[in-house]
Amino acid sequence: MTTRTLLIGLDGATYTVLDQFLKGTCEEGVVMPFLAGLMEQGYAAKLKSTNHPLTPPAWTSVMTGRTPGVHGIYDFVRFEDMGHELFFTLYDARDIRVETIWEFASRAGQSVVSLNFPMMAPPPRINGSLVPGFVSWKHLRRNVTPPELYDRIKSFDGFDPKELSWDFERESQIGDVMEDAELYRWVERHLPRDRQWFNIGIRLLKEDQPDLFALMLDGTDKIQHQAWHVLDPALWDGGKTEDAKKVRALVVSYFRELDGFLAELHAAAPQAQMIIVSDHGFTGSEKVVRVNKYLETLGVLTWRESDGSDAAKRRDMANFANLDWTRTQAFCPTPSSNGIVIRKKSDACPCGVAPEDYAAFRDKLIADLLEMRDDATGLPVIQAVLPREEAFPGGAMENAPDLTLILSDHGFVSVRNKEPAVVTRPIPLGTHHPDGIFIMAGPGVAHQSGAPMSIVDTTVIASHCLGLDIPSDLEGRIPEDLFTADWLASHPVKMGAATAAGAAAATAAPAPATPGAAEDEQREEILAQLRLLGYLED
For position 171, what pLDDT does the model report?
Answer: 37
- In order, the DSSP letters of 386-405 are EEHHHHS-STTGGGS-SEEE
Say which range, 12-26, 229-243, 441-455, has the weakest mean pLDDT: 229-243
Q: Is 181 among the domain residues?
A: yes
Domain check: are 196 and 312 in the same one?
A: no
Assess whether pLDDT exceeds 70 at residue 294. yes
- Structural domain that includes position 513: 5-280+434-533
Summarised one tens digit per residue, pLDDT across range 365-409 is: 999 999 999 999 999 999 999 999 999 999 999 999 999 999 999
| Residue 538 within a domain | no
Range picked from 178-187, 321-330, 386-395 for highest mean pLDDT: 386-395
Identify any residues that bridge with 454 across adjacent strands, giving them in sequence order: 48
Question: Which CATH number does the domain housing residue 371 bear?
Answer: 3.30.1360
pLDDT band at 529 (very low <50, low <70, confident <90, very high): low
Phi, psi (degrees; rounded to nearest 5) at 77: -125, 155
Which one of 25-34, 157-166, 301-310 scores highest in mean pLDDT? 25-34
What is the average per-residue pLDDT within 496-520?
A: 56
> Is 26's pLDDT higher than 70?
yes
Give the pLDDT band (50/70/90) at residue 531: low
pLDDT of residue 428 exceeding 70, the answer is yes
pLDDT computed for residue 502 by the predictor = 62
pLDDT above 70 covers what percent of the chain? 89
Q: Is residue 486 part of a domain?
A: yes
What pTM, to 2 d.p., does this model score?
0.92
Tell me whether residue 223 is in a domain: yes
Same domain, 305 and 446: no
Q: Are residues 395 and 460 in the same domain?
A: no
Residues with Cβ within 8 Å of residue 280, at least 6 apart in sequence: 12, 49, 50, 53, 54, 55, 58, 432, 433, 434, 435, 436
Q: Where does a domain end: 399, 430, 461?
A: 430
Q: Is the pLDDT of residue 507 over 80?
A: no
Instruction: Tell me: do 256 and 160 sit in the same domain.
Output: yes
How far apart are the C-alpha atoms of 252 and 28, rounded to whole Å? 8
Last residue of a domain, one of 388, 403, 430: 430
CATH number for the domain harbouring residue 439: 3.40.720.10
116 within domain boundaries: yes
State the chain's mean pLDDT as an integer: 90
Please report the pLDDT score of residue 309 as a whole number: 80
Task: State whether 103 and 207 are in the same domain.
Answer: yes
Residues linked to residue 403 through DSSP beta bridges, in sequence order = 340, 387
Model confidence at 225: pLDDT above 50 = yes
What average pLDDT does range 289-299 have in this prediction?
96
- Residue 166 is predicted with a pLDDT of 56
Domain termination site, one of 430, 451, 476? 430
463/317 Cα distance (integer angstroms)? 45
pLDDT in tens, 326-370: 999 999 998 999 999 999 999 999 999 999 999 999 999 999 999
- Residues 207/263, Cβ–Cβ less than 8 Å: no
The pLDDT value given to residue 508: 36
Q: Report whether pLDDT(514) > 50.
A: no
In this structure, are 300 and 404 located in the same domain?
A: yes
Residue 411 CB partners (closer than 8 Å, separation 6+): 285, 286, 287, 288, 289, 429, 431
Tell me, yes or no, whether 395 and 293 share the same domain. yes
In this structure, the answer to whether residues 86 and 215 fall within a common structural domain is yes
Q: Are residues 412 and 439 in the same domain?
A: no
pLDDT in tens, 258-285: 999 999 999 999 999 999 999 999 999 9
CA–CA separation, 173 and 180 (whole Å) = 15
3-state secondary structure of 132: coil
Let me know if residue 518 belongs to a domain.
yes
* pLDDT band per the 50, 70, 90 thresholds, residue 524: low
Quote the pLDDT of residue 7. 98
Looking at per-residue pLDDT, the higher value among 53 and 1 belongs to 53
Distance CA 133, CA 140 (A): 9
Whole-angstrom Cα distance, residue 75 to residue 128? 28
Confidence of residue 48 (pLDDT cuts 50, 70, 90): very high
416 and 270 assigned to the same domain = no
Q: Which residue has the higher pLDDT, 476 or 530?
A: 476
pLDDT of residue 530: 54
In the predicted structure, residue 169 carries a pLDDT above the cut 80: no
pLDDT above 90 for 99: yes
Q: Is the pLDDT of residue 146 over 70?
A: yes
Q: In the prediction, which pLDDT does 501 show?
A: 75
How many C-alpha atoms does 521 have within 13 Å on its Cβ side? Answer: 9
Give the length of the chain: 538
Phi/psi of residue 376, nearest 5 degrees: -70, -30
Please state the domain count of the chain.
2
Tell me the pLDDT band of 170, cut-offs 50, 70 and 90: very low
Residue 176 lies in a domain: yes
**Inter-axis angle of helices 180-208 and 219-231, nearest 10:** 140
Q: Does residue 190 register a pLDDT over 70?
A: yes
Kindly state whether residues 424 and 439 are assigned to the same domain: no
CB within 8 Å of 194: residues ≥ 6 apart? 217, 218, 219, 254, 257, 258, 261
146 preceded by cis ω (within 30°)? yes
Pair (266, 326) in one structural domain: no
The answer to the question of residue 128 being in a domain is: yes
CA 102, CA 338: separation in Å to the nearest integer? 30
E strands in 272-362? 273-277, 281-289, 330-331, 339-342
